[in-house]
Every structure is written in C-alpha cells, then in structure tokens.
Amino acid sequence: MQLVQLAFRNLFRNTRRTILTVLLISFSLTALIITDAMMRGMTDLIVKSITETLLGEAQIHKLGFRDNFDIDLFIDDAADLEDSLSNDPTVLAHASRTISGAIISSSYNVTGGMVYGIDADAEADLSRIKIAVESGTYLSGKPNEILIGKTMGELLEIKLGDRIVVTLTEANTGEMTQALFRVSGLLHFGITEIDKNMVFINIDEARKLIRLGEHGAHEIAIRFRNPEDAKNPDLAVFKDHNTESLESLSWLQLNKEVSSIIEMSSYGTLIIGLILFLLASLGVINSMFMSIYERIYEFGVLKAIGTRPLDLGVLIMVESLLIALISCAVGIILALLISEYTSTVGIPLGEMEFSGLAISDRILTQFHISQITELPIYVILLTMVSGLYPAWFASKIIPTEALQRSL
Amino acid sequence: MTIVIKTKNLCRYFGDNEETMVKAADQVNIEIEKGEFTAIIGPSGSGKTTVLHLMGGLDNPTSGEVELSGKNIAKMSGGELCDLRRDHIGFIFQSYNLIPVLSAEENIEYIMLLQGVKASERKKRVKEMLELVGLSGLEDRRPGKLSGGQQQRVAIARAMASRPDIILADEPTANLDSKTGIALLDVMKELNEKHDMTFVFSTHDEKIMSRASRLIHMRDGKVELDERK
C-alpha cells in the first residue's frame, strides 16, 4: 500500500464529487485549449488575410515613399533587387509594383484612386488579385487592360469592356498624362479600401505612363517560404536592403495596427485562462475542503497513531495531483475531439471586414503542441497550488480536537 | 516490576478564567506497570479520557509530567510525539477508527509502513495479528464489509502490530453490543495474559471493570481511588 494508492482510493470515496471536480477542471482546460486553438486560427486568418491579399510578408521601398506616396521616390533598378531576391533561399515570391495617385473617369462619373502597375505573373504567386477577379479576366499583358474594384466600377457605372480614362502624374517632371483602358476584370476583395480605390494595370504600361524607366518600381512585395521569417530581423531581406536609400520592412512594421491586435489577442487568451482557472481553483479548494471535513475524525486517528503532519499534507497534495492528472487527461481528450471538428470544418464567421481586413473565411482552430504540454502543466501547477491550503489545514488538525468532534 | 507509564502531578486545565476554568486533570499521579490490565473509570466529565490522551501524548499537559518508559513526553515537540505514538503506543478508539479505503490487512499494515518495517516482516506480523484477533480469512475486506466487532478487532490488531509498549483504549466497547463487547474483551484479556501486553482503558463499561486487574476511580479530574484486585 503506497501513498499514491491511498490517495487514489480516497478520491473515489465520493465518486460524484470527484467526477464533478474533474469535470470542472477538465472543461476549463478544454475551453482554454480551444480558445488558444481559436486564437491561433484567428491570428493565422488575420495574418494570411493581410499578407496574402496585397501586402505580402515584406516590402522594399525607396526611403520616404511610404510617408506620402511621393511618385518621385522610386527604386531605379528594381530588376537588380529582384535578381538578388530570386537568389535568396528564404524568398518564395516577389513582385515589383508601381503606385501612383490618379483620376479615373468613365463616361458617367469620375473618382480618385490609386493605380497599381503590377507584374501579372509574379503577383499570381504573391497576392490575391488574380483570385479576386469576380468577373472578366486577369491581366494577360495585353495593352490597355485594367482591373477595377467592384465598388469603384459601380461608382463609375461601368461594366466589362467599357472604356475608362486614367489621368496620372509623371514622375520627376510632374506633368499630367492620360491613358485609355478597357475594363478587363472586376475585382472583389471584400475590403472597401481596395474595392473602392484601387485599379491594377500591367507594370510595363504603368512604367511608360509615369516614366519610371524600364526597371523602376515604387514597391517590391515579398513572400517568404516560411511566413515566420517575417519576424526575423536578422534575415538577409531586412539586413541587406535597409540602406541609406532603401527600407525593407516586414508586414508587422508595415501594419502596426494589426500586429498590435494580434499581440493583444495573446493577452486575451491569458485573461480567459486566468478567469477559467480561478474558478476551477475555487472548485478544487471547495472539493478538497469538503473531503477533509468529512475525514476530520479519520485524520485525527491517523495523527494519533503516528502519522506525521507532513505526511497528511503530502497525502492531500497527492490527491490534488491525481485530480489534476485525471482532469488533464479528460480535458485533453475532449479538446482533441472538439479540435478535430473545428480544425477541419471550422467555425464560420460570415463575411466581415475587420480593421481593413476581409475575413470571409471560417476560423480553423490550430493545434499546437504547447496546448497539450504547456497548458496542462499550468493546470497541474494551479491545482497543486489550490491544494496547498487544504493540505496545510489537514496537517494542522489537532488529534484530540478531531477525535472529540465526531464523538 | 517495570513501569511503562508514570504521571507526576499531571494537570490539564481548559480556559484561562479562574472562575470558569475546567480542571479535566488535577494533580494526577499514576504509575502503570508492564502487563497491567487497568481501567480508568468514573462518571462523564471526570477526566478519564483527558488523562488517557495525556498519557498517549495526544494532548499537552498544563503542568506536570508524563514519563513513557522513562522519557518525559510532556515537553516533546509535535513531530517527536508523532514518532513516540507510532513506535511506543497503540490506540483503540470508541468509534470505528479504521481507514475505510484500506482492507483489514492494509489497515493493520499502515503503522508498520510508517515505521519503515520491511514488507516481508509486515506480511508476517499482519498474518500473526489476524490470527490473534480471530480474523483470518477476512484480511481483504474493507471496514465497510466488516461488523462493528470485527472492525474493533482489526483496530486491536493494528494497535498491536506496531509492537507498542502499551495499548490505550478509549471506551473500546461503547459502540458494540454486549455479546460482541464481551468477545472483544476476552481477546484483549487473552493478549494481556498470554503476551504480557499492557492495557489502559478509559471506560464506564462494567464488563471491562470486572476484567480489569486494576481500577483507577476518577472524579472532577482527580484520582479518587486506585485499587488493585
């Protein structure tokens, strides 16, 4: 007969209470694991939404361009930069872009917007522009093709094949220039800012229009083989291309608002975890005390026949540990079963725009090994901490008082 | 004769106020010799259980001394008292005081585990004790599956298994019917006579009094009469 065996048998003196305590702790752990998995899924969705839509995971610009999108601040030899990116093993895809403000006119209406000159083939591997084509066709490299946001199309009252005039400013000279385009595709990103304000044309045409030269670009968007590389400032992409005239920034630096939201979401998990485990701890303390009060006479006897106070305390702690271990096993199994469903079928959100991001997908909860290693350790530690006071109480029971209590 | 327990001017007072103070034990001087079958008797509130608890180191005296095999236990720390109770004193209580989740065998084995007795020796002693108290064959039963008398027999076996110097029994027959009580007392008397085991009872059970070799009468915390038969 060992201490663990005695503690284990004690747990099943009042099976119903033990089951309820185990369920309380295991449900808390399950909820925490699912919350963590959901937060990870949500974060992943947000990150993908922000990086895959248009931004990329990193961008290189001429220093100062981002301050007010000055058309004159362009990279002279983007081709050279793109060559070095092609040889970088961490880089999966990259694409040069021109960006300029423009007046876009149809036969019926006029609006302001941003004209992106894009490399259609390269963009297909980097952004969602091709996927966002709701009607018509993606850019094929033919002259006068233009992709327009659906909302802008409605504003301009145009349809596929209609003509529109884009008025731009030439770089360096500041001269106005105009070009006629035929709408080849209407885009729907689900992001108001893009759908309403952006048009996309072939980069070669854009370069000619705004006179950026053969290899000029305002922006080079980059996608890494490992998306986590965006967080690594020691990467060659960031170290080599942050110079006196260039800046190379990750999406976390380009969109600080969203990166702050993501950072805050981890605190959300922490707060939910704390609340859940505070409640579970109170349940454990309550359960252990009920169990001790039922056994006060017995503890008196145990001390009377020579059980040391420390041994009684250890017995209660072992009971707490066993409750924690059983709860963790139940909690993990429950969480894995639920995760199996939510990670494949997902949790539907409907279509929503959140902080300039289109979230039209389902949240697919994401399993991470820490959910079944770290989180259960916290649960075990917290349950043990909850067991400390009852254990101390049991060790302090005075035999004569305990024996009299039940006589 | 060897003196197992000796109390010297033993006092145990409850309460601080002079007027309301209860003197549960007041200047008690008792010497228990090895092999005695002693009953401390008296009406309720006379202080017999208090004296038994003080003798067993379950309670600390207000003043006076308790010597167990020549050692003064009155000033011992909690841990030292635990070890002393474990190694030198066997207790039998009024209520069935077994650990309900342990079998009869495991209950008997418990104190020996605390003592660090080897497994083979434990098994040997458990078997021996179960035979002594007439419970062979019931070793795997938990207390819930044993009658009151059988449970008290296990308690006696547990008290004896640790090979104590003395067994202190607080109203051991109080919760038993007359027939079971007599049978149990016969077991204890036999252990006393055959194995020279020292017993001290706190009781007002006539059956114990009639079998006791010595009766210590208490009233209002004082020893009123100490008679050897």
Query: What's the rounded Cα separation, in Å, for the pair A129 and A123?
Result: 7
The pLDDT of residue B148 is 86
> Does residue B225 sit at the A interface (CB-CB below 8 Å)?
no
Interface of B with A in 9-38 (CB under 8 A): none
| B174, burial (CB in 10 Å: exposed 0-12, middle 13-18, buried 19+) | middle
- Reading the block at residue A396, the tokens are 């302090």
Bridge pairing between strands A163-169 and A145-149: unpaired
Would you state the torsion angle of the CA atoms of residues A121, A125, A129, A130, taken in this order, to the nearest 10 degrees?
70
Q: Is B109 on the interface with A (CB under 8 A)?
A: yes
CB pair distance less than 8 Å for B101 and A9: yes
In B167-196, the residues whose Cβ lies within 8 Å of chain A are none
The answer to whether B9 and B29 have CB atoms below 8 angstroms apart is: yes
**Ranges of chain A with pLDDT below 50:** 407
- Looking at residue B77, its pLDDT comes to 82
Q: CA of B57, closest CA in chain A: separation in Å?
A: 8
Decide: helix, strand or coil at residue A221: strand
Any CB–CB contact under 8 A between B86 and chain A?
yes
Q: pLDDT tens digit string along A195-221?
A: 999 999 999 999 999 999 889 999 999
The reported pLDDT for the residue numbered B18 is 78
pTM: 0.74
Q: Find which of A1, A2, A9, A308 to mutate to test the B interface (most B CBs within 10 Å of its CB).
A: A1
Exposed (0-12), middle (13-18) or buried (19+): which is A244, by Cβ within 10 Å?
A: exposed
- The two three-digit tokens of residue A104, written as one number: 């876009």
The confidence score (pLDDT) of residue A407 equals 41
Asked whether the beta carbons of residue A6 and residue B91 sit closer than 8 angstroms, the reply is no
Is A13–B100 a contact, with Cβ atoms under 8 angstroms apart? yes
What does the pLDDT read at residue A222? 95
Q: Whose CA is closest to A16, among A279, A290, A217?
A: A290
Radius of gyration of chain A (CA): 32
- Structure tokens, A23: 């369920």
Beta carbons of B82 and A1 less than 8 Å apart: no
ipTM for this prediction:
0.84
> How close A383 gets to chain B, by Cα (Å)?
23
Taking contacts as CB-CB distances below 8 angstroms, the residues of chain A near B115 are 306
Q: What is the largest CA-CA distance in chain A?
A: 104
Indicate the angle between helix axes A370-395 and A309-342, nearest 10 degrees: 150
Which residues of A fall below an 8 Å CB-CB distance to B? 1, 6, 9-10, 12-13, 297-298, 301-309, 311, 399-400, 403, 406-407
Provide DSSP, A235-282.
SHHHHHS-SSSEEEEEHHHHTHHHHHHHHHHHHHHHHHHHHHHHHHHH
CB contact under 8 A, A303 and B102: no
In chain A, whose CA is at the least distance from the CA of B95? Answer: A407
One-letter amino acid of B217: H
Q: Which residue of B has its CA nearest to A1?
A: B106
pLDDT digits (tens, 9 = 90+) for A343-379: 888 887 766 656 555 565 678 888 889 889 988 998 8
Q: Do A306 and B95 touch (CB under 8 A)?
A: no
- What pLDDT score does A266 carry? 75
Q: How far apart are CA A215 and CA B229, in angstroms?
A: 122
Contacts for A67 with CB less than 8 Å, ≥ 6 apart = none
- In the 3-class helix/strand/coil scheme, how is chain B assigned residue by residue? CCEEEEEEEEEEEECCCCCCCEEEEEEEEEEEECCCEEEEECCCCCCHHHHHHHHCCCCCCCEEEEEECCEECCCCCHHHHHHHHHHHEEEECCCCCCCCCCCHHHHHHHHHHHHCCCHHHHHHHHHHHHHHCCCCCCCCCCHHHCCHHHHHHHHHHHHHHCCCCEEEEECCCCCCCHHHHHHHHHHHHHHHHHHCCCEEEEECCHHHHHHCCEEEEEECCEEEEEEEC
Write out residues in chain B with pLDDT < 50, as ranges: none
pLDDT the model gives residue A87: 94
